[in-house]
Structure 1
Amino acid sequence: MQRILRGLITAALTLGVAIPGSASTASAAPELLTNGTFSNGTANWWGTGNTPISPDAGQLKAVVPGGTANKWDAMLGQKTPAFAVHQGRKYTLAFDARASAARTLLTTVQLNATPFTAALNQTFSVGTATQRISLDFTSSLETTQAELTFQLGGLAGGGYTFWLDNVSLTEVDGPPPAGSPIELTNGFYVDPHSNPKEWANAHPGGTATTINNAIGSEPMARWFGGWNTNLATDINNYVGPADTADKLPVLVAYNLPGRDACGGHSSGGAAGETAYKNWIQTLATAIGSRPALVILEPDSIGDFQCITDINEKNARIRMLTFALQTLKSSAPNTWTYADATNKGWGTGIGAGELAARLNSIGIANAHGVAINVSNYYTTAETIAFANDLNSHWATPKPFVIDTSRNGNGAKGSEWCNPAGRKLGTTAQQGGGAEMLLWVKVPGDSDGPCGESGEKAGTFDPQLALKLINN
């Protein structure tokens, strides 16, 4: 298994949102640029032939010609040594700048070769007084061959002089924590036997190609429950190839007795407390020391108010407590996230009550919490909900967000295959949460309701197409 200190995460969208503080958030990564204070003159910096650069009282001075048509016709920057930027991670570029006349200029962090794809492409304004400029961005680019540019041309009027100092580019997210499942792997595992992939393989044609390209080829969770007649073998057949490929698998444990007590469409689960504890022990042992993420029992905490028998409720608390303890001890390279409902449900429960319920199952034994599983709330409003929940704990918990169907946000209280929903951001690290994941398999029905007549967990290609096309 490779131990690659990065998270090569596939991402379809970038999210410029703040990352909440947490005990497990890694410290900021080292400075990515060299000689940003120009203490060594202009070493490691370059300028185009028509824009000579030179040291000037501890700053970089660039003499910019007039009459250029495009901003890139007069440039300076740094590409030696090249540096890495990672898709889905957040960065800050900061620098001091002034000019002999007010100007609006452009800076990029981009691939340093054709097609010069940009992770950052941002205009900024300077005047004759030095000002500190700070630009935050989330990279849509994954490369080890990045460069920084300041593009100074394409302006009306004559030439001018530009001064630059204290240039810094840092990664806000930082590298994955040492020994974490992300650090131990090289991105998320794409399940070759997911429901959308299997459907596309069995129904070749235009619809299958669309579904495979948009959904089947993306990383998503695989759900495990009572339908797995040989759980240990099924876990090994999923986690084993992921480990061989040096990729991180995402699993959902979904087998609590009386599950989905409020919704009812996914009812079922293990035969009783002893059977469930044996099942969880088998799951954890089968994962073993291989890196993995586990989302533990969606609906389990939210369903409390629909369980009227106090003995049944106490048994659920014991089972979830056992599950967190067992996964922690028997699957040491697994990060387990206890389900923490969604914004709509959690607001109704109240963040304080939700935190208390999670405390009752020993949330300290979980790496974090999973929010918005199988729901539709936007990432931004889910982050706000997670921050509210975290305010009730002395030590905030990291959280992951299910983005599988939140591209258009929620629609009132409708939750069961509602119309107008859309795919959200594919799996990535950071972006406002510890990870954004497709936990619910896009296209799998919530039950015979709303836009689908299929039973819960059954893949519905028409539902998948609506998520793609909306």
Structure 2
Amino acid sequence: MAGTYGDLAANGSFTSGTTSWWSGDPAMITLVAPGTGLEASATTDAANLWDAPFGQDNIVLRQGVLYTLSFTARASQASTSLRAQVGLGVDPWTAAIDKTVVLDTVDTHFVLQFTSSLATTAGQLSFQMGQATEVTVYLTEVRLTCSTVREGFYVDPDSNAQKWVNNNPTDERAPKILKSIASRPGARWFGNWNTDIQADVNAYVTAAAAVGKMPILAAYNMYWRDNGGESSGGAIDPAAYRTWIDAFAAGIGNRPAIVIVEPDSLAQAEYLPTETARADRYALVTYAAQALAARPLVRAYLDGANATWVQPAEMAARLIKGGIAAVKTFAVGVANFDATDISLGYGNQVVAALANQGVTGAKFVIDTARNGNGAMDDNGQHVDYCNPAGRRLGVPSSIGVGGAEYLLWLKFPGDSDGQCGVAPADTPAGTFSPYLAVRLIDGW
């Protein structure tokens, strides 16, 4: 998919030697790739940065699109300048980004973002390093990537709905479920069912990258998850959770992703039986927030409950204890059924309450997967939270409205809330039910 997300810089880890990379005058610069990255060496004849260039051509750039250039570099001497450029590879050589960084003798990872002013198939990525002295720059992990909401959200090809369609192609419900649910982008949930969380997250983000889409992930492995309720499980102790979330974040790496952090964890925190358990919960959410905030292209949203559960001021206090200062973002109505306008009102109230408590500029997203009929029964009362009747699919994942950053399908439609409500037998939490899916499609 030309010009969208992927590693637009070919051979950016130099595992194939210097393939795809060119260099300038060999009297001024030489390139070797011994298997641990690139070693670019400039001679004293390279008096100016541009005298010792290297790079690659035929980069596709699109005007108005956000790109990220990232790389890890060090030099044989401190205070070495390295100029990074992405721009037109032919005359007039217009630059979309032109940034000079200073290298030390230890590896530093650089992340440079820019919005392209160019629309071209003749783009060029280049580095320049002439210092008027002999110097070697060690470079690896070069990535030129693009994945923004403008490109669209990733459709999980292995969602429970898609798996059911694949396994039941002749079922009369299959076309309806494929069209209305399985083909829509939503969140992939990760938890204790993933035997290698780093590898599984990496595979999912990589798959999204390959087709130029933004992946949506939910981290759902909290110690004492769901306080022992329908979705109980999770990490066996706090130390195991910290290890797990570190691996989760490592799986994303320096690539774009939206992450919903531990749904219900903060909303349920005060229901835990001891002060130690409550303190552990807030500490673990804070740890997750900080681990994900350390990833430069991750947008992580903490659990922000829903409009009929926790009062806005109290939710703001819990978010602060859960480390929202690290991310400034939270999610409203995850796996719930409140109408979008109700969730918008609540989200904006939480934002105001956070500001009153010292955390300004917070943003939120809303789970719209199953809120199409709002959340009121025939008597005007809010419906039950667990597989209630009369619900309908909500607005598919998209840019937000009314103060919300995004409207997202987070609890994937058709996946049961538990053995409750209108769920048929043998549909515990997380199990896909075509019966529940069709009810959401048709609104009954």
User: Partner of 1:441 in structure 2?
Assistant: 412
Check the 8 A contact 1:181/1:293 in 2, yes or no. Answer: no
Counterpart in the other structure of 2:329 = 368
Where does residue 455 of structure 1 map in the other structure?
428
Shift of 1:184: 7.5
Report if aligned partners of 2:186, 2:410 keep a CA contact under 8 Å in 1: yes
Moved over 3 A (4+): 1-5, 179-185
Cα deviations by residue, 1:61-81 (Å, 9 ceiling, x for unpaired): xxxxxxxxxxxxxxxxxxxxx
TM-score (norm 1): 0.60
Q: TM-score, normalised by structure 2?
A: 0.64
Amino acid at match of 2:396: T
The equivalent of 1:217 in structure 2 is 183
Aligned to 1:306: 271
Identity of aligned residues (%): 44
CA contact (8 A) 1:196 1:211 kept: yes
Of 385, 388, 408, the residue aligned with 2:346 is: 385
The CA deviation at 1:244 is 1.3
Pairing 1:96-115 to 2, within 5 Å after superposition: none
Q: For residues 340-359 of structure 1, what are the structure 2 equivalents within 5 Å?
A: 340-346=304-310, 350-359=311-320
Q: What is the one-letter code of the residue matched to 2:438?
A: L
Corresponding residue of 1:427? 397
Quote the offset at 1:4 in angstroms: 6.7
Query: CA 1:400–1:181 in 2, change beyond 3 Å: closer, same or farther?
Result: farther
Would you say the 8 A contact 2:270–2:278 is kept in 1? no
CA distances 1:417-447 after superposition (whole Å, capped 9, x unpaired): 0000100000101223100000001000000
Counterpart of 1:334 in structure 2 is: 298
Q: Give aligned pairs, total.
A: 296
Question: Structure 1 CA distance, aligned partners of 2:145 and 2:367?
Answer: 20
Cα distance, 1:393 vs. partner?
Answer: 2.4
Q: Deviations over 1:246-290 (max 9, x none)?
A: 10000000001111127x100111000100000000000010011
Does residue 1:464 correspond to 2:430, yes or no?
no
Counterparts in 2 of 1:366 and 1:180: CA distance versus 1, 3 Å? farther
Q: Kindly report the root-mean-square deviation, in angstroms, between the aligned alpha carbons of the 2 structures.
A: 2.5
CA distance in 1, matches of 2:148, 2:4: 6
Amino acid at match of 2:161: P
Do the aligned residues in 2 keep the contact of 1:3 with 1:183 (CA within 8 Å)?
Answer: no
Residue-by-residue CA offset, 1:359-418 (whole Å, 9 max, x unaligned): 112211124110000000011111111111111123131110000000001132511100
Q: Does 1:257 align with 2:223?
A: yes
2:258 aligned residue? 293
Kindly indicate whether the alpha-carbon contact (under 8 Å) linking 1:189 and 1:248 is maintained by their aligned counterparts in 2. Answer: yes
Letter of the 1:421 partner, please give it. Answer: R
Q: One-letter code of the match for 1:208?
A: A
Runs of 5+ unmatched residues, structure 2: 6-62, 64-143, 377-381
What amino acid is aligned across from residue 320 of structure 1 in structure 2? V
Q: How far does residue 328 in structure 1 lie from its aligned partner after superposition?
A: 1.1
For the Cα contact (< 8 Å) 1:224–1:254, is it kept in 2?
yes
Structure 1: give runs of 5+ residues left out of the alignment.
Answer: 6-83, 85-178
**Cα separation, partners in 2 of 1:182 and 1:339, compared to 1, 3 Å:** farther
Contact 2:218 2:262 (C-alpha < 8 Å) held by counterparts = yes
Cα distance in 2 between the residues matched to 1:203 and 1:320: 39
1:180 to partner: Cα distance? 11
Q: For residue 393 of structure 1, give the secondary structure of its aligned residue in structure 2.
A: helix
Q: 1:184 to 1:387 in 2, by over 3 A?
A: closer
Q: Which SS does the other structure have where 2:226 is aligned? A: coil
CA contact (8 A) 1:416 1:446 kept: yes
Check whether the contact 1:181–1:335 (CA below 8 A) recurs between aligned residues. Answer: no
Report the alpha carbon displacement of residue 305 of structure 1 after superposing the two structures with TM.
Answer: 2.6
